[in-house]
Structure 1
Amino acid sequence: MKSKPSTTPRRSQGAAPKVVKTKRTRTRPTSAAAPRPARTQGPRRSSRLRAWGRHHRAMALDSLQRLVRTPLGNLLTMLAIAIALVLPAALWLTLDSARLLDAELEESATMTLYLDHGVSVAEAGRIDEALHANAGVISTRLIDPEEGMAEFQRSLGLEDALTGLEENPLPASIVVRPRSVEPTSMEQLAAELGELAGVEEARLDLAWVERLRHLAELGRRVALALGALFGLGVLLVVGNTIRLAVESRRREIEVVMLIGATHAFVRRPFLYSGAWYGLGGGLLAMGLLTLGNHWLSLPVAALAASYGASFSLPALDFLGSTILLSCSTLLGWLGAWLAVSRHLASIRPR
């Protein structure tokens, strides 16, 4: 029987085997993931600072707008703050003018050295030069007997009555202006100069110096006491106003605290409200002081002119205005902080 031919091709014995090329995929060895660089805190911190600044600006504007919406009631509150600030500020200005007067009187604080009757003009000049060399003396003025008699006659108006005297009974004298006007220092200097040769007596009048010191000390204590008392009044006025504002926004505060707001976040708008109250009260106090100065300046000037002196009421300068506004703003902020901190402790979100 004949066999059927095979359909599969035969490989010839001498033919080389056919090589089939396949694509190899190279696999990279897996290694541990490289560590990511740590994020810098600079951008995050700067963004937080910008957000903090934006929130402060927003709260400042929002608190100011709330005050403008009800101008009459807030103006009355600021007026109460201004009245509480006017009296301490007026006393401060009065003490400032008293310090100026004190400086003028210190320049006129002198002692008089009366020389012996037998001291000649040349010896009086040498004593005057010795006094110039003393460290506790600023200046001296030598008055001879004739000049002393002329001044005595002019001060008493007895020119005709004293012309009949045979000789001048007044000795030569030296007016000494001490470097220190403290009573103890002046007494020590007077005792030292009274021991000089040719000096008969060192006359020193400390009564007016003592009175001036006591009046200045009394004025300072009164001003400090009134300043503390009326400063407490400002705290109470602002604290009561902010307390009412907190109570009116109690529901809003509870909702904000429920979503995670901190006490500092809730406190911030009320602190700006207190600062605005204090600043407005300070501005009104400056206006009241200016009006009072203009109203009283003419009567005070007329009273001083009747005594032959020139005196004008002191006014607030740039430094005084800055101090007044800073103190009023700080008092308003502190009053608001005390009121809000006290009431936030009692608010619990439900």
Structure 2
Amino acid sequence: MKQWLNQHAQALQLVLKRMLSNKLSTLMMFCVMGVALCLPGILYVIVDNLNRLAGDVQGEPQISLFLKLDIQQDTIKTLDEQLSKHPDIKTYKFVSKDEAWRQLQLTSGTANIANNIEKNPLPDAYFVSPKNIDPDTIERLQKEMQAWRGVEIAQADANWIKRLYSLLELGEKAIWSLVILLGFALVAIIGNTIRLQIMTQREEIEVSKLIGATDSFIRRPFLYAGALYGLGGGLTALILLLGIVSLFNYSIADIAELYASDFHLALPTLIVTLSMIASAIGLGWIGSYTAVGRSLSQFNAH
């Protein structure tokens, strides 16, 4: 076990020494990976904050229940009990037809029309706010309430939230598409870099194989190099992401202040951050493993 650990420690020291002796090329590799990983990170932050904003937005979608004109008080009482006990309803408000009529008469834009009507044509109504603003939940609630006794029309004003959710879903698909494309690109970049390193050390590798070095022994330092490139790229991407989000928050703070809001772009969670760094390390390892495997197969063929 101790010998195995010493072999890995020596391989890691060798890779670190080579990276330090080529600081510029190492830094450039970190920057290339960092920029590539930062792009989906920025898109994720935007979509995640839009999701948060959609959940906190004021003027959330409501379901309007317009009751029948000849409804009885006991039916209204039954509806009130149904609404109060329903698990998917956050709040609800009852507006009587008399109250709605008074508001109509007091509103400047409709006062003249209301004064020319002798009889109140408005129904009693409930305005319901659901707990979940998911479009499917709102549509299900609307259909359920439409079937309730005493309800003439159950109307949901959730078109805007449907459009927003569609845009958020499109954004999530764009993130995954970008992650996959850039992932392939990073694997290719790291693989090409490792392949060039193998070519410069070709004679050293051939001598090592002649004295009995195994493929795993030869592969080990290059795998560490790929993983370290990934680690450096992931940390660089995180630094870039933090800087960009902080820069945006300066401008957003001024805009939010005008609307008496404290909204700001939230940074990725610890789990997302660790996942991004782990993914970068994994991509580096995969690119390195692929390049070393192909090169070793060519050496063995000769």
Normalising by structure 1, what TM-score? 0.75
Q: Give runs of aligned pairs for residues 215-254 of structure 1, distance below 5 A.
A: 215-254=167-206
Q: Cα distance, 1:226 vs. partner?
A: 0.5
Task: Give 2:49's match in structure 1, choosing from 97, 118, 127.
Answer: 97
Task: Give 1:176's match in structure 2, choosing from 98, 123, 128.
Answer: 128
Contact 1:258/1:349 (<8 A) preserved: no
Task: Give 2:20's match in structure 1, choosing from 68, 75, 78.
Answer: 68
Q: Deviations over 1:49-68 (max 9, x none)?
A: 22111111121122112101
Structure 2 counterpart of 1:18: none
In 2: Cα distance, 1:259 partner to 1:192 partner: 79
Q: Deviations over 1:311-337 (max 9, x none)?
A: 211213322221121111111111111
* Pairing 1:277–2:232 present: no
In 2: Cα distance, 1:83 partner to 1:302 partner: 28
The percentage of aligned residue pairs carrying the same residue is 31
C-alpha RMSD of matched pairs (Å): 3.1
Relative contact order higher in (CA < 8 Å, ≥ 6 apart): 2
* Pairing 1:210–2:162 present: yes
Q: Cα distance, 1:197 vs. partner?
A: 3.1
Task: Give 2:290's match in structure 1, choosing from 329, 338, 347.
Answer: 338
| Structure 1: gaps (5+ residues) | 1-48
**Using a 3 Å threshold, how does the CA distance of structure 1 residues 303 and 180 change in structure 2: closer, same or farther?**
closer
Q: Deviations over 1:51-101 (max 9, x none)?
A: 111111121122112101111111011101111111011111122112223
Structure 1 counterpart of 2:80: 128
Contact 1:128/1:140 (<8 A) preserved: no
In 1: Cα distance, 2:217 partner to 2:59 partner: 58
* Pairing 1:140–2:92 present: yes
Q: Deviations over 1:127-176 (max 9, x none)?
A: 2113334465454322234554677789x775987996877654321122
Task: Give 2:265's match in structure 1, choosing from 313, 316, 320.
Answer: 313
Q: Cα distance, 1:251 vs. partner?
A: 0.7
**Using a 3 Å threshold, how does the CA distance of structure 1 residues 317 and 138 change in structure 2: closer, same or farther?**
closer
Contact 1:121/1:144 (<8 A) preserved: no
Structure 1 counterpart of 2:214: 262
**Using a 3 Å threshold, how does the CA distance of structure 1 residues 147 and 314 change in structure 2: closer, same or farther?**
farther
Task: Give 1:294's match in structure 2, choosing from 246, 250, 263.
Answer: 246
**Using a 3 Å threshold, how does the CA distance of structure 1 residues 303 and 121 change in structure 2: closer, same or farther?**
farther
Task: Give 2:8's match in structure 1, choosing from 45, 49, 56.
Answer: 56
Structure 1 counterpart of 2:274: 322
Contact 1:254/1:349 (<8 A) preserved: no
**Using a 3 Å threshold, how does the CA distance of structure 1 residues 325 and 187 change in structure 2: closer, same or farther?**
closer
Q: Cα distance, 1:106 vs. partner?
A: 11
| Structure 2: gaps (5+ residues) | none
Contact 1:257/1:349 (<8 A) preserved: no
In 2: Cα distance, 1:287 partner to 1:143 partner: 53
**Using a 3 Å threshold, how does the CA distance of structure 1 residues 291 and 52 change in structure 2: closer, same or farther?**
same
Residues matched between the structures, number: 301
Structure 2 counterpart of 1:28: none
Q: Which has the larger Rg?
A: 1
**Using a 3 Å threshold, how does the CA distance of structure 1 residues 127 and 278 change in structure 2: closer, same or farther?**
same
**Using a 3 Å threshold, how does the CA distance of structure 1 residues 168 and 107 change in structure 2: closer, same or farther?**
same
**Using a 3 Å threshold, how does the CA distance of structure 1 residues 55 and 317 change in structure 2: closer, same or farther?**
same
Deviates more, 1:224-233 or 1:156-165: 156-165
In 2: Cα distance, 1:243 partner to 1:181 partner: 52
In 1: Cα distance, 2:196 partner to 2:209 partner: 19
